[in-house]
Chains A and B, each alone.
Chain A
Amino acid sequence: MRRSEDYRLLLGAGTFTDDLQIPRTLHAAFVRSPYAHARITAIDVERALALPGVVAVFTGEDLAKLTEPGVTAQAGAEPMVMETLPTRKVRFNGDPVACVVAVDRYVAEDAIELVEVDYEPLAPVLSMESAAAPDAPLVDEDLSSNLHTRQTRTFGDVVSAFAEADEIVEVRFSTQRMTHVPIETRGVLAVWDAGRMELTFYSGQQTAHLLRTNLARRLRLDENQVRVISPDVGGAFGQKIPLFREELTVAALAIKLRRPIKWIEDRLENLTVANHARDDSAWIRAAVTKDGRILGIKAELWADYGAYAFFTPKYPIDSVGWLLPGPYKLQNYEYSINVVITNKCPAGTLRAPMALVTWATEGMVERIARQLKIDPVEVRRRNMITSRDQPYVSATGYSYEALTPWEGYEQMLRDFDLTGFRAEQRAARANDRYLGVGIASVLEPTTYGSAWYKKSGRGSGHEAATVKVEPSGAVNVSVGIVPTGQGYETTIAQVVAEALGTRVGNVNVLLGDTSIAPYGMGTRGSRGAAAGNAVAYLAATEARAKVLRIAAHLVGEPIDNLEIRDDQIYVLGEPEPRLPLSQASWTAYMDPSALPAGELPGLEIHRTYDPPAMTFSNATHLCVAEVERRTGRVEILDYRVIEDAGTLINPAIVDGQIRGGVSLGIGQALLEEVVYDELGNNQTATFLDYLIPTIDTVPNIQISHVQTPNPHTVLGLKGMAEGPVQGGLAAVMIAVQDALDGKGITIDRSPASPSRIRALFRAVEGDLDE
């Protein structure tokens, strides 16, 4: 089934935030800190205000009067308060300190240069180690320490596991700071209707309703005074979730000035001040027996969360913690999480916030095999969960069911000639060529139900849908998930059409507008299928039931004798339909007295659905790579994925998620890195310095599917989207390590960039003049 979204997008007729034009719109630009850490001692806006075309300049003091601060509360840790714009000090290079509003963006940018801010520079805190030091300057002076989060959780009997072990295997893995890079940057067009006292907030977003709730509170408006409309969104990848300070500022100023205001972020801002992610590290010790059984593991996990908290600081790194046992039978486990606040751009959720985990778990298993001199396949055979082991409750309390990690691994080994590859690898090494293979088993948490949120703090994982069969029989559907490229309009139309017995083309799907969509939790994780599509299917099933009740009454047959196909209602066994679906819908609206006794008029269904506490998908990734010793360059020669995402609604869309996700994983493994200098200046502010994968660096990926339905979800859906990122990072990094095996080189930090690979070779070979 091809996508219905494509037509407008291919004609250039899509509507992204910056495509919206409203008369009298003003344009905003932000004055940003050149320092990583400094007190604001004075701000002089006079010269900027004198520039023709400048309407106003607002500072943190002004915004404090117009808005409420943001508060991030995390159980067991100090709350973190964030002003709308800072009033006392700036905390990272790019922190916004003032907003210029002008007749166009050109004038606004001119005026930025004329705002004079006096700073008193402070020592910046730029690493996990220095942040956690007892005498470190405080990044957030309302906190007692930069080490914001420190928690340890223990499961099973770790002490005995380590006491009984034959060997302890120790590994460290760190991932670099990255950023999301949607090709459409952030942006907003805020419109205040002064007559109705209502704000319309046009902005590409993932969680429109949650944003509305937050926006209303921060603006001191009632929630029914705020409408969020997320039009076409040019990618998000976890970036377009929180209410950003620039967006809130623009909304507040649109109300204050009674003029529409647009702010479209430029790429420099997107790379340096929209959220970052992934600045994580793991130190893992595994207690193992001589024959390669894993008795228990201990992990110490660290995250550099940057200067402010848009999400609870523990969230991404804790997901590494609770997932680390992965697809392995392992009940004795302890992990600690340590999150530091530093003078860098705030971190947040980037597609697969737990991305480090698969590399860490599978990298650990590889190291166990090497240290014990056992084939890595054998170590997996002895420890990996098979379908016969399920249902299986993980050490951290998650229920695994209908997963196929070992089966996927075995299938990969049947499809790929590992023995042949090893021979090829040895022959290549004799010619100073470094080939490696990485096989990674991915366990992907996909759909988080409200039970999970309750246990982890607060929030909900439910989703909501409306299905309206209009009088003519045309169907309008809305759901609380918000598309940012996933093809939801197509897949939702597919499941609704299937449930209702109508054509896909008869189903119109409207998403992203809080005045149309029912209140849902939006797009995050991999919840589109098993929450978003699932609830649409359930609502359509209710609509179908009502259509059948009406039809049964109209034709005088029992309901069980009727079915709906192609918009026609049939009596079972009869070749010709008795009546069109539209006759039932028309009756519901236009002739309610003809309805069965007790049936209410209309055909509009609202349905909510709370999925299981957690659903998982799994996959096996294989990467063959060559590391070029002279240049440090890594080339991917073969990449394969076996995916088990349960029932697939639209396989082409799932394949697209795999390819895109692996591509992001490859970017993390080989290319991307946010770099700060010793003063905390961001050194990767353009696409010439921050490299994302291009069409000539991402290989073709061979994909095959296993579809093991989840017995506890609607239609057996599991969902997927983040696992390919986990697998991409892991398979490439393990392949690189494999290629370097025997050279005395350990690559424990991504990316495996040419400079890092060269440095590792130099460390073992010295500087060879070639």
Chain B
Amino acid sequence: MTAMRRVRFQINGQSVEQDVAPRLLLSDFLRDVLGFTGTHVGCEQGACGACTILLNGEAVRSCLMFAVQVNGATVLTIEGVSPDGTSLHPIQRAFHENHGLQCGFCTPGFVMSACALLKENPAPTESEIRTQLSGNLCRCTGYESIVQSVLQAARDLESAGGQSAGKADSHAG
């Protein structure tokens, strides 16, 4: 067995220090070791986007990274998006109000991608949303309700004065 490596990083506002095998995928580390099972693995090929997390504020595919690569980084997963762990962040609420999910398996990836998108571009057009989220696959919804969810989230975040409405914002940048 290859020697374990120590990683220290921030996840959802907490500090973590852990020994990991060099070949352990970040997605497996988050799910199986740390218990953040809201990050879902849909392909392990970097194509479906279900495992999307924010790494130092940028959306990345956690199935395409090794756990050792997050050393020193700040990570946000779906579990850290809610401001208090129980109430819905405006992006999550918009998905709820627009029927933006059915089975819910791809949903954490879409929410994380939407967090990154709205941080970068707080008032995206429909066309920009469709382009920016084209790396996330959903087999249930036909996508229109996801587009509407993100449009509403943008409006709601805008009318909240662009203020941080939850952890997603404070950790995204």
Contact = CB atoms under 8 A, between A and B. Distances in A.
Contact of A687 (B41, B43, B131, B144): B43
A106 B33 CA distance: 14
B88 A656 contact: no
Contacts of B108: 12
B142 A662 contact: yes
A687 B32 CA distance: 25
A632 interface: no
A578 interface: no
A267 interface: yes
18 contacts: A2-B99, A3-B99, A5-B104, A10-B92, A10-B104, A10-B111, A11-B81, A18-B31, A185-B42, A234-B103, A235-B103, A486-B102, A656-B99, A659-B142, A659-B144, A663-B142, A687-B47, A701-B144
B3 to A, nearest CB: 15
Interface string A644-660: 00000000110110111
A660 B131 contact: no
Nearest to B138: A183
A695 B145 CA distance: 10
A224 B23 CA distance: 42
B133 A7 contact: no
B44 A694 contact: no
Interface in A1-58: 2-3, 5-7, 9-16, 18-19, 21, 52
Max chain A C-beta neighbours (<10 A), residue from B31, B101, B111, B133 = B101
Contact of A700 (B32, B39, B140, B144): B144
Chain A contact patch, size range: 35 or more
B97 interface: yes
B45 A696 contact: no
B136 A656 contact: no
A471 interface: no
A11 B87 CA distance: 9
Contacts of A376: none
B130 A695 contact: yes
A14 B139 contact: no
A485 B100 CA distance: 12
Given A234-B104, A484-B103, A688-B47, A656 B141 contact: yes
B77 interface: yes
B137 interface: yes
A233 interface: yes
A243 to B, nearest CB: 21
A184 B105 contact: yes
Contacts of A485: 102-104, 140
Contacts of B97: 2
B38 interface: yes
B172 interface: no
A69 interface: no
A237 interface: yes
Nearest to A8: B104
A696 B97 CA distance: 22
Given A18-B37, A183-B106, A693-B143, 7 more contacts: A12-B36, A12-B108, A183-B42, A232-B105, A234-B40, A234-B105, A267-B42
A577 interface: no
Contact of B146 (A7, A10, A181, A695): A695
A335 B42 CA distance: 41
B31 to A, nearest CB: 8
B139 A660 contact: yes
Contacts of A182: 103, 105, 139
A659 B96 CA distance: 17
B50 interface: yes
B74 interface: no
Interface in B18-48: 21, 23-24, 31-32, 35-45, 47-48
